[in-house]
């Protein structure tokens, strides 16, 4: 893991342009802000080129689809790929819904995102592996999640961040498993969307190595969540989210390094 990336992010304040899930738009903006980035949320195709021009990274979340939002995604991604800006894609519930699969295929036809962040059910869609996805939840399947993530990464030639009790980051060659976290992530709708936003902040700082950016983002998020949960007298979902924001604002690289439980392989 790149030990200095968080400090560099806080010093630089990269601009991240986001097309967000309407359910969690404020959560994504807040988490990017407290981690050290400068979020800008977009919904108008007319401003896409100008926004991409000033941004260091782009995130696209398909959680709440409508045709105007899809048009904005297409316009923003076209500009991002033309300007060679890193893109993070969050394919919410793509493993469960045919319409969303069509939208994702349309977006992938424009170019390849630098990072795709999703749960096992979502990443299985890209790998072409049978998996019983359950809406926005991971669902269940028999495939090994490391192999699943690696197959998706190789098929798309991108970095995959598969999130769950154990997070898996892989570009098809390098792989890191992250064993930190807390079950409270699963009780808070928006945890995955927030991590997608954090990925945008980190890859904006390290556009030439999305894999290392994703490892740093996922490790920072998982370790911080674990620190919050361990400090709570009674771990409860309603108070977890505001404390997570507070801790992401104060967590240090030293704390992350000391707490991180990673397994790297090639």
Cα(262)–Cα(78) distance, integer angstroms:
35
Residue 100 assigned ligand-binding role: no
Cβ(153)–Cβ(211) below 8 Å: no
Alpha-carbon gap, residue 133 to 139, rounded angstroms: 4
Known binder of ligand: residue 190?
yes
The full length of the chain comes to: 266
Phi-psi category of residue 17: left, alpha or beta, with phi > 0 → left and psi -120 to 50 → alpha: beta
41 is in an annotated binding site: yes
Q: Is 220 annotated as a binding residue?
A: no
Give the CA diameter of the chain: 50
Number of helical (H) and strand (E) elements in the chain, helices listed first: 12, 11
Cα–Cα dist 225/245, whole Å: 9
Q: How far apart are CA 238 and CA 196, in angstroms?
A: 21
Rounded alpha-carbon distances, angstroms, from residue 258 to 178, 227, 229, 252, 261: 14, 11, 17, 10, 9
* Residues contributing to the annotated binding site for substrate: 41, 190
* Residues contributing to the annotated binding site: 41, 117, 163, 190
* Residues contributing to the annotated binding site for ATP: 117, 163
């Amino acid at each position: 893991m790149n030990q200095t990336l968080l400090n560099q992010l806080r010093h630089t304040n990269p601009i991240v342009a986001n097309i967000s899930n309407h359910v969690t738009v404020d959560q994504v903006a807040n988490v990017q802000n407290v981690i050290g980035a400068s979020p800008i949320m977009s919904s108008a195709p007319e401003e896409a080129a100008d926004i991409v021009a000033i941004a260091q990274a782009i995130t696209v979340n398909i959680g709440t689809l409508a045709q105007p939002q899809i048009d904005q995604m297409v316009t923003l991604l076209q500009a991002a790929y033309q300007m060679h800006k890193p893109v993070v894609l969050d394919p919410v519930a793509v493993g469960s819904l045919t319409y969303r699969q069509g939208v994702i295929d349309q977006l992938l036809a424009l170019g390849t995102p630098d990072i795709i962040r999703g749960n096992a059910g979502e990443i299985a869609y890209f790998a072409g592996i049978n998996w019983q996805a359950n809406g926005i939840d991971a669902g269940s399947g028999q495939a090994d999640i490391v192999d699943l993530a690696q197959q998706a990464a190789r098929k798309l030639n991108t970095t995959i961040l598969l999130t769950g009790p154990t997070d898996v980051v892989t570009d098809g060659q390098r792989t890191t498993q992250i064993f930190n976290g807390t079950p409270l992530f699963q009780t808070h709708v928006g945890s995955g969307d927030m991590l997608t936003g954090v990925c945008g902040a980190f890859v904006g700082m390290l556009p030439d190595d999305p894999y290392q950016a994703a490892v740093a983002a996922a490790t920072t998020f998982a370790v911080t969540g674990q620190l919050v949960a361990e400090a709570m007298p009674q771990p409860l979902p309603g108070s977890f989210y505001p404390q997570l924001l507070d801790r992401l604002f104060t967590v240090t690289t030293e704390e992350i390094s000391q707490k991180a439980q990673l397994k790297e392989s090639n």
